[in-house]
Structure 1
Amino acid sequence: MNRLFKQAVSMTLAFVMVLGITFTGMPAYAEDSNGDAGLLQLQSLEPVTLLAGNSTWKYLDHGTDQGTVWRSVYDDSTWASGQAPLGYKDNGTGVSSKQFGALNTNISYGSNKSMKYRTSYFRTNVTVNKEEITKSDKIMGNFAFDDGAVLYLNGKEIYREAMPAGEITFQTKSSTNLSDPNEYTKVDLTEVVKANLKDGNNELSAEVHQSSDGSSDLYWDMNLIAYPVVETVEPGIGKPESIALTFNGNPQTSMGFNWYAPEKVTGTKLEVVEASKVVNGQFPVDAQTYEGTSVTTSVYMTKADKSAKKPVVLTSHKVIADKLQPGTEYAYRAGDGQADNWSDIGTFTTESSSNQAFKFLYTTDSQGTTEGDFDIWNHTLQ
């Protein structure tokens, strides 16, 4: 960075920290809040919800054996439909899960509480772009059901829980009997979903089984989420620039720091130690380490850069060193923790505990725009 820019940002950083403001602004010429500003923002890939919780499902609650044909392409136009969670509580008090909440749709268990339907059937459709979804890193399912469940994708079984091994029929009982729904989170279905997914419409089918004919409740809901590949980001290279120190909190026991670094240097670490412990320019291993925060910002170095919309993208870092001793000289270095990214070692002294009177000079922004302006401003301070 050139000297003009360093002088400008140093004074701005100090002024901002004295006020205790989180620094996110532009010390030179600010980027417009519209237009091409969005191009400067970091882009992140969001998970894709293939099936949301509380979705609408078709269901069959007649207590009739549907065999296996219902699991794939099937005419379910005569089935009822309702929003999940679906199920029942035979005493009318309701049933719920932490993930999906209380029942939205009550289904039938028959006319006899002691001989409820052994199996209930559920179907829905999921429309996807297979090429995009198969690029996902993980496909995860979250489930809540009572008592046991088997899930199929286009007729192929992709998930089974609280059910015995082997062939599943209408009469098969669940292998668990809990008072509340079973809840499972982030079940990895990546391989089996990718292997059976089709481009466009997909049939998702589930059968929920009771553990006994007198089971008091039934519950069903789920979601399915595809997570993008997370690219490994190489740590950025670059040392802090324009390090500013200023009061933040009690000047006897704390000191505020702010600096700029290249765009890809996002970590914020500060090491502080009593200055007497730095020997031959080597920072000791027992230094106190502080973690801070950083934000990405953009600045224009000149008015010409602003006119041409050519900002420099940097990271602005902020950290507070606290629990210091009054009247003590400290050494510090700033960086992101990487060996080659530490700043030169600097020093500061905390305020004495005697609280003796002192004088200070308070200034505001010089409004300088040229190197000559800042030279005059520098002479004034001297």
Structure 2
Amino acid sequence: MTVSWAPIIAGDVDYYMVYLNETNNSTAVKSSDLSSNITTQVFTDLVPGRSYQASVTAHSGSYSQPSAIFTARTLILSVNVTISPINSTAMNVSWKTNLLAVDVDNYTVYLTESKNATAVQSSNFPSTITTKEFTGLVPGRLYQASVTMHSGIDIQSSANVSDRTLPPSVNVTISPINSTAINVSWAPTIPADVDSYTVYLNETNNPTAVNSSNLSSNIATQVFTDLVPGRSYQASVTAHSGSYSQPSANFTARTLPPTVNVTISATTTVAMTVSWAPNITVDVDYYIVYLIETDNSTAVKSYNLTSNITTQVFTGLDPGRSYEASVTAHSGTGSQPSANVTARTCVYLSPGVYLSPCLPGDSTGVSVSPR
């Protein structure tokens, strides 16, 4: 702070005493003894923003005459501002000065959208507060913040600092399309600024077997193919905005179980064998095998079988009757029925003699079998 004075032209002054003290602390005094030809004095190492009082006393011989007291404040320094996201709709702005001692009356904190300078939020705070949380923001959007310090009539603004809110966590749905394909879709938050999405699909019991796709922000669905029938998969979607990313929760679904190939054959007049060939790589929990009379769909026999069984014998049937068989594979809540296959039981004519057909495609004839 500079203190200067204008001496009286016609006057004899031996020297001047210049005093500077804090306005609110009169004991904190700085003074300088100056010769009569000096009319200015710079005081340093003062507290930024603090109010000081200055006076000058002229000395002539044994007499002295003090001036009036004048008040001014030192200038304040620029404040350092930091901005960081809290979540997808909130940001924290904090600030501090480089010096421990500084007198500030209040702060004004501004937050604007980087691409829309008219979208401004601002708040006034006393000097004891140095942080502000802004809420209700747009996910993934770029914002810039600044802080203005007020000290008396002096105003000092910080530089602008920028950062983005976190991208949104999207809601994901996963659903099987068929036994080897799954669809993953998500509902983006509106409004939100998202640069891209990464969609992940991995086997639930083998997290290292991962399929992933990077997609632009205007895409909200992805189909994964060449999967294992009946297998459990989990999907997630990560939204990216600038250097930030936000993963969704994991969602699980199974591909549909496979459609098995079924064969049926008549073994006797009252028995038929149903068998099926499952795919080699497949996750099936169990099978249900059905046998119905071709002309009476209400006459049903069925067996619930574990996944390691691939054949079932039905007994107690009627000779020469036509039957349809099918096998439904079950994986989790998904099921997949096979096509129906048809065959007739053999007809008994006399001891050792049976009337065919006993297999699908046979022509009518007589076959002899030992009893």
Fold similarity call, TM over 0.5: no
Higher fraction of strand? 2
Please give the range of the TM-score, normalised by the shorter of the 2 chains: under 0.3
What is the TM-score with the length of structure 1 in the denominator?
0.22
Indicate the structure whose relative CO is greater, using CA pairs within 8 Å and at least 6 residues apart.
1
What is the TM-score with the length of structure 2 in the denominator?
0.23
Which entry has the higher C-alpha Rg, 1 or 2?
2
